[in-house]
Structure formats: C-alpha cells, structure tokens
C-alpha cells in the first residue's frame, strides 16, 4: 500500500533510485542537484541501499564511472546540473552508442556566463542531439515516477539507451511536496532485473567502444539514431504499464483544455502548472486558449504534436533557452520544422522567458496569449523575450 509522504523533490528522486535497487551511483555535487546525491550517499552509508557509491573528483569522472559500471552490467545512476553537465559532455555522447541504459537526473540550471545557479533549460539543450532519451517532470510526484520509468524504458532490451530525467532546478528540486511513495515490492514488480545486451566479463573478455574509422563511424551514429527513434513506442508502452501498476497516467504529449482552443501554449517543465492556472483565468474571461506540454523531448513526439497542434489557429511555443544566432529557441525550431509542410498550419510564434531563474507568472502567459493572437509575422520571425527590463 503506497503512502503519502512530505519530502523535498530532490530526496524523492534519490528515493526512487533506491526503490529501483540501483547498483552503482557515481556522483559529484553541484547546485541545485547536490541534495539528490547527498541523500543517496546517506542511503548507502546507512544500509538502506546496497550499492557502490563512488565520490568522484568531477562530473566527467562521474559519467566515465557510470559508463564503466553499466558496461559491467550494473544498474547505474547519477545526477548533475548546468556546468556539471557541460563538464560531463565529453562522456555523455559515448553512452548511447555503447547502448548503456544509465539514468541521469538533471536539475536544470542556467549555463554561465554570467554565472547563475538558477533554473532554465540551457543545460539539457547542450546534449539534445547526443542520443539520450529525455523526459521532463512538472512536479515532485512526476519526478519520482519519471525516475522509475527512466530505468524501465532505458533497460528495455528493445531500447538499451541512457535516459535523462529533467526537473527544474530550485523551482522544483528544492520544494517540499506530498509524494505518493510506492511500496518497494510494487516497483520491483514493475522494473524487472536488467539483462545487458553486451557485458564486460573478465571470464569472457570483449572490447567495447573501439575506434570508429570512416568506414564504420557513420553506420554507428545512424544505428543509434534508429534505436532512439524506435524507442518511442516503448516509452508509450511503459507509461501504460505504469498506469496499470500505480494508477497515474502519463503521455508523451499532454494537454490541458486544448480541445477546440483557438490558441495553444506549448511548454516543458514546471512552468506548465503556472500556465494551467493562467489558462483557467483566461477561460473564465472568455479566452479560447489551451495548453500542450511536452513530456518526451527525445525522441521528439512528432505525430502526437501534429495531432494536437494542427486544429489550432495560433501556437505560442515557449522556450527557456536562447539558441545564439538563430531566430528561434530549440523547441520552436522543432515545432516549425514539424509544421512546415502541414496543410492549414497554425500561426507559430516563439517566446523565451524565465532565463536564469527569472520568475514566470500568470500574467506572462496572458501576455503571450495576446501576442500569439496578434502574430502576423513570417515563419522566420525572431523570438520575443518576455519579462525583460525596459
């Protein structure tokens, strides 16, 4: 019988790793991720989790250790943020090609410079093309659930890929929320023992991750992309299995009051809940507006988005990252590309807000809705910054 427990969201993520019977945790502290790995170190030290905890000297070493542990057949977990992910970057691109289902929790935080420890999505966007499956949580319950789901999805033999589970730094990571904590037996039933596709074994030596010559490198990269694209049905299937086991429903693209709406806001992460409140208020005022939320960022949920976006007249894509030198943020680039050949496509405008932890308010979403309805620009129109100082 699950029970409701008040806890910090970072602690809930660590508890999810415990429930999943993680074998190896390799970690280095960085704000605002530190509480996740701190709590895991306590769980290991106090005997609540039978795992090897490796306190490495850097994030690059953390991911290196995770790659080695996963290649040896260990269920492996780590966490990071911002500059830590940037330092991990060298090793991040290795794990998908080697088909190692490492779970990486990212407490999303702005990248320097200037130095900033607060939330936006600039860190995750640095590895958007790395081959990792990428999930976004909006609240503490989802953070726990998505961590469990990350192991289930990544370790599925049809997938065998690493997974990032993203939570907004501070905005989500440091808040205390009521968490429906599942029983460990239910999690073990949902998450079967992992059987690696390929495993290092001193009794039967093999080599993993050799030099990719021009004659083989292209094929290796394409093979990884093929597996990533093919993982989406497994994600959907895993979400359905989770609902059957625990009663909570998730979809790769989720909506709120979107059916029949003239204007749709499109978001990722915890600001979606603020957007829902703003939509409630706008609906009461007679506005025809709804919300579309991307749960699965990679592989990109093209078919599901087309289905919900095409009936709308206006789509306001909300980004939390600036792609320097281009007209759009990263989510808008994907959406505009998706809709490019679509008949009767909606007007797509792009708004960037909440960078470096700047507050995102209900009034911001009301302003965005107004601007989206007024938008008459070409598809190449640049993003609009929201909430900037005059």
Last residue of a domain, one of 246, 267, 294: 246
Tokens of 145: 């659930």
Residue 390 placed within a domain: no
For residue 102, pLDDT beyond 70 = yes
Residue 352 placed within a domain: yes
| Residue 28: strand, helix, or coil | coil
* Same domain, residue pair 242 and 258: no
Query: What pLDDT is attached to residue 376?
Result: 84
For residue 390, pLDDT beyond 60 = no
Query: What pLDDT is attached to residue 206?
Result: 87
Containing domain of residue 269, as a range?
Answer: 253-385
Last residue of a domain, one of 246, 262, 286: 246
- Nearest Cα residue to 102 out of 147, 58, 54: 147
HSE of 343, CA atoms in CB hemisphere, 13 A: 0
* Same domain, residue pair 18 and 110: yes
Q: Could you tell me if 339 and 307 are in contact, meaning their C-beta atoms sit under 8 angstroms apart?
A: no
| Residue showing tokens 């008040």 | 6
Q: Under 8 Å CB-to-CB from 177, ≥6 apart: which residues?
A: 6, 7, 9, 12, 139, 140, 141
* Same domain, residue pair 128 and 240: yes
Query: What pLDDT is attached to residue 2?
Result: 65
In this structure, how many other beta carbons lie within 10 angstroms of the beta carbon of residue 53? 17
- Beta partners for residue 25, in sequence order: 53, 77
For residue 264, pLDDT beyond 60 = yes
For residue 1, pLDDT beyond 60 = no
- Nearest Cα residue to 372 out of 363, 380, 389, 384: 384
Q: What's the CATH number where 175 sits?
A: 3.40.50.970
* Same domain, residue pair 193 and 280: no
Are β-strands 52-55 and 263-267 bridged in parallel, bridged antiparallel, or unpaired? Answer: unpaired
Tokens of 220: 């290796």
Query: What pLDDT is attached to residue 378?
Result: 76
For the stretch 158-196, pLDDT in tens is 999 999 999 999 999 999 999 999 999 999 999 999 999
* Same domain, residue pair 227 and 209: yes
For the stretch 276-332, pLDDT in tens is 999 999 999 999 999 999 999 999 999 999 999 999 999 999 999 999 999 999 999
- Nearest Cα residue to 18 out of 50, 45, 54, 46: 50
The count of domains in the chain is 2
């Amino acid at each position: 019988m699950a029970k409701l427990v008040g806890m910090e969201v970072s602690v809930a993520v660590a508890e999810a790793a415990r429930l999943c019977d993680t074998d190896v945790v390799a970690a280095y502290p960085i704000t605002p991720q530190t509480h996740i790995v701190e709590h895991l170190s306590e769980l290991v030290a106090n005997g609540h989790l039978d795992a090897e905890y490796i306190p490495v000297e850097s994030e690059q070493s953390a991911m290196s250790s995770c790659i080695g542990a996963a290649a040896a057949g260990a269920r492996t977990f780590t966490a990071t943020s911002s500059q830590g992910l940037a330092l991990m970057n060298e090793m991040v691109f290795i794990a998908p090609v080697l088909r190692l289902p490492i779970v990486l929790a990212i407490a999303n935080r702005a990248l320097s410079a200037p130095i900033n420890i607060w939330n936006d999505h600039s860190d995750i966007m640095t590895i958007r093309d790395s081959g990792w499956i990428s999930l976004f949580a909006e609240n503490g319950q989802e953070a726990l659930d998505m961590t469990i789901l990350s192991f289930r999805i990544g370790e599925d033999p049809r997938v065998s890929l690493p997974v990032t589970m993203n939570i907004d730094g501070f905005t989500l990571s440091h808040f205390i929320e009521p968490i429906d904590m599942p029983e460990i037996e239910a999690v073990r039933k949902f998450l079967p023992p992992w059987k690696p596709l390929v495993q290092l074994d001193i009794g039967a030596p093999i080599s993993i991750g050799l030099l990719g010559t021009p004659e083989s490198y292209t094929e290796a990269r394409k093979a990884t992309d093929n597996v990533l694209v093919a993982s989406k049905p497994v994600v959907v299937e895993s979400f359905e299995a989770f609902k059957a086991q625990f009663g909570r429903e998730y979809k790769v693209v989720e909506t709120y009051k979107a059916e029949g709406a003239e204007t749709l806001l499109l978001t990722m992460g915890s600001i979606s809940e603020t957007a829902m409140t703003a939509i409630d208020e706008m609906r009461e005022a007679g506005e025809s507006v709804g919300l579309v939320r991307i749960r699965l960022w990679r592989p990109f949920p093209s078919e599901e988005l087309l289905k919900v976006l095409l009936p709308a007249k206006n789509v306001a894509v909300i980004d939390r990252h600036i792609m320097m030198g281009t007209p759009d943020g990263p989510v808008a680039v994907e959406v505009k590309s998706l809709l490019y050949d679509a008949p009767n496509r909606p007007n797509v405008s792009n708004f960037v807000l909440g960078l470096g932890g700047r507050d995102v308010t209900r009034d911001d979403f009301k302003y965005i809705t107004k601007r989206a309805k007024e938008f008459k620009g070409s598809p190449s129109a640049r993003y609009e910054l929201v909430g900037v100082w005059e």
